[in-house]
Homo-oligomer: A and B are copies of this chain.
């Protein structure tokens, strides 16, 4: 996904400021009445396999089944009453749409989600179940942007972008704040990277607590734009992702790219087979349903044993919204 409201030429002038640690503390207070403080779980068996000490921050147990509710809730509840009453507009083919729908309902306002017409029925059903209106578009970024702009013009609503928004980033960072409160003195924290909202919030939170913590992104080989962007020092866009990790197919935004460039030590890559193996481990050993995106951080640790050997590592398990039929087909194919 690209920017919605800012044309490339206007980037420098209009780009909002990156959130700071204080914004994450404020977000934590703001969302506390609504969001779950999710558990941090451990597994001796997986620690033995990985050769290090892993702390799993279980955002699959968050409301709506993913970390996305944190950022959506913070952005929606930070609006003035007047702005909130205009209604919330966003574009999403996944967890952010459901999170915005839920946050809008809790705020007592309406939500409109622009979603590609090939969005899985189960995700559309979740968005509808929270009372949001769905406006279909073509599964192309240009169509998403055009339809979203039209909806904003028609409704006078307020846009809450899935990741290129300081309030959304600050909300996502609250997961790491809780993780570090529960498991202090971590050596490293690893979060999956897509548009970069979660990883940006993770990095700002971690370095606000302790600048020495190493922050890594975890990304599928088939959607490695963040890896290549950080390596080349410029934001790479326009590729067609190819991965089962349906939550990780977006591209870095104008706001998240500079944050990651400053804070993230490295983006580590794994292929889909490694993701499926890690996902299976979490299902079987930890008894947790996680979606492919949520298993990428563990896949990275298992692929890079030397780097993390003997260290204390926090993993953001980003979500658990997965079709059980699809998951069993992946497991069957892999075995």
Contact = CB atoms under 8 A, between A and B. Distances in A.
A108 B16 CA distance: 60
Contacts of A324: 280, 283-284, 328, 331
Contacts of A61: 41, 286-287
Contact of A283 (B280, B284, B289, B331): B289
A290 interface: yes
A222 to B, nearest CB: 24
Nearest to A44: B63
Nearest to A62: B287
A325 interface: yes
Given A39-B39, A332-B325, A65 B280 contact: no
A252 to B, nearest CB: 28
Contacts of A90: none
A46 interface: no
A49 to B, nearest CB: 12
A60 interface: yes
Contact of A287 (B44, B60, B284): B60
Given A287-B65, A289-B288, A289-B289, A325 B320 contact: no
A60 B325 CA distance: 22
**Chain A interface, DSSP helix/strand/loop, else mixed:** helix
Contacts of A283: 289, 324
Interface residues of A, number: 22
A44 B41 CA distance: 22
Most chain B C-beta atoms within 10 Å of own C-beta, residue among A41, A288, A332: A288
A60 B287 CA distance: 7
Interface string A161-174: 00000000000000
A169 B60 CA distance: 33
A287 B325 contact: no
Interface string A44-63: 10000000000000001101
Interface in A226-272: none
A172 B98 CA distance: 39
A323 to B, nearest CB: 9
Nearest to A280: B324
Nearest to A319: B287
A330 to B, nearest CB: 10
Contacts of A328: 324-325, 327-328, 331-332
A286 B38 CA distance: 12
14 contacts: A39-B39, A41-B61, A44-B63, A61-B287, A65-B287, A280-B324, A284-B324, A287-B288, A287-B289, A287-B290, A287-B320, A288-B288, A324-B331, A328-B332
Interface of A: 39, 41, 44, 60-61, 63, 65, 280, 283-284, 286-290, 320, 324-325, 327-328, 331-332
Closest 5 CB pairs of A and B: A328-B328, A287-B320, A287-B289, A60-B287, A39-B39
